[in-house]
Amino acid sequence: MSEPVLIVVQARTSSTRLPGKILKDLGGQPLLLRMMERLRRVRTPARCVVAMTTDPDDDVIESLCARHGVERYRGHPTDLLDRHYRAARAFGASTVAKIPSDCPLIDPAVVDRVLARFERGDCDYASNLHPASYPDGNDVEVMGIDALEAAWREAVLPMEREHTTPFIWERPERFRLANVDWQDDRGVAMPDRSMSHRWTIDYREDYDFIRSVFEELYPSNPGFGLGDILALLDRRPELWAINARYCGVNWYRDHLHELKTVDARQTRPA
């Protein structure tokens, strides 16, 4: 990439299932700051921005970011596609990475792998989600500004506007798509953990799980990665059980009738 990629972390305080989740304490800091701490470990040259809404409730996010030197952008409350596109234009980005704010265990090495795949220059969109194989909560999507602009201009379905990228990855005949499967350092395929391991936050049990993992690993190894978490869960399976009831629960479940490239095996009811 000729210039740093723009990593856009979408954030809001008005989560329907767990309000204020990104401000919850994680080792003495708000969860959002821990998330940004993880992303600062990404090796690929990148600029990170928190894209919050224009809702006054999100003033607290802007104040938090300002106090800690985190770049930010404010945009449409519900049209995430518009928010991502306008943030990209505001920062002059030609490559955009979309990462949720509720994944504070994300492995920076995974982000680097997806960015490296996009950097090869033979795709318009790269992710580790189609199909997913990493533990849920390591979601990375990277796209060029032309693909993002096409989606922004043409997407009409509410689902396409809310989730930013479906217009792109639902059209493999139009856009060049690439996927990063989970492999070990030797290039050997790893087992699919996308439906069995949940490292994102939507429910109270998710927060309890992530806080427990953080308390176990962070004090002695602030840069802990995916392998460290899996090793911990092998030693302490009771931690995995904290939020196991929600493994495989994701937004696809409400849109299977609209999605062409996703089926019921990739989601489950809450």
Does residue 233 belong to any structural domain of this protein? no
Percent of residues, the chain, with pLDDT higher than 90: 95
- Per-residue pLDDT, 4: 82
Does residue 265 belong to any structural domain of this protein? no
- Per-residue pLDDT, 149: 99
Q: Domain tally for the chain?
A: 1
Mean pLDDT of the region 148-162: 98
Q: What is the SS3 string spanning the chain?
A: CCCCEEEEEECCCCCCCCCCHHHCEECCEEHHHHHHHHHCCCCCCEEEEEEEECCHHHHHHHHHHHHCCCEEEEECCCCHHHHHHHHHHHCCCCEEEEEECCCCCCCHHHHHHHHHHHHCCCCCEEECECCECCCECCCCEEEEHHHHHHHHHHCCCHHHHHCCCHHHHCCCCCCCEEECCCECCCCCECCCCCCCCECCCCCHHHHHHHHHHHHHHCCCCCCCCHHHHHHHHHHCHHHHCCCHHHCCCCHHHHCCCCCCCCCHHHCCCC
Does residue 96 belong to any structural domain of this protein? yes
Mean pLDDT of the region 138-167: 98
Percent of residues, the chain, with pLDDT higher than 70: 99
Whether 148 shows a pLDDT value over 60: the answer reads yes
Mean pLDDT of the region 241-249: 98
Average pLDDT in the chain: 97
Does residue 210 belong to any structural domain of this protein? no
pLDDT single digits (tens) 210-243: 999 999 999 999 999 999 999 999 999 999 999 9
Instruction: Give the domain extent around 22.
Output: 5-192
Whether 2 shows a pLDDT value over 60: the answer reads no
- Per-residue pLDDT, 1: 47
pLDDT single digits (tens) 69-120: 999 999 999 999 999 999 999 999 999 999 999 999 999 999 999 999 999 9
Does residue 13 belong to any structural domain of this protein? yes
Does residue 52 belong to any structural domain of this protein? yes
Report residue 184's pLDDT band, with 50, 70 and 90 as the boundaries: confident
CATH number, domain with residue 170: 3.90.550.10
- Per-residue pLDDT, 16: 82
